[in-house]
Amino acid sequence: AQTVTQSQPEMSVQEAETVTLSCTYDTSESDYYLFWYKQPPSRQMILVIRQEAYKQQNATENRFSVNFQKAAKSFSLKISDSQLGDAAMYFCAYRSGTASKLTFGTGTRLQVTL
């Protein structure tokens, strides 16, 4: 069974700085997808970024980028120029290429300070 590990329960970053959230996963599959979801306080979870395992190029969405290391099974999220609105719970998730359910990590709570 696939597992997703987020080893940082909480992280803090100053506004305008850069922060990296860690995620590792375990799978024996070669075809899969990885996701970062963000859940702001009292709001619904939204997709931040996704990565297809077959793509070597790291995904980027504005200030959000990933460092996808397939051999190491690592999928970290980098947030540049952090903003107060980035404060949220961040979940890393895995999806097999042959199934649609998501497997999540335990989440990292990100604080953004002035």
Q: How many residues bind other proteins (CB under 8 A)?
A: 20
When asked if residue 99 is in the footprint of other proteins (CB under 8 A), the reply is yes
Contact range with other proteins by CB under 8 A, out of 17-25, 42-50, 54-62, 75-83: 42-50
What is the number of H-type helices and E-type strands within the chain? 0, 12
The verdict on 46 binding other proteins (CB under 8 A) reads yes
What's the angle, vertex CA 50, arms to CA 112 and CA 87, rounded to 5?
A: 10
The Cα 62–Cα 109 span in angstroms is 21
In the complex, which residues of this chain contact other proteins (CB under 8 A)? Answer: 4, 37, 42-47, 50, 91, 97, 99-107
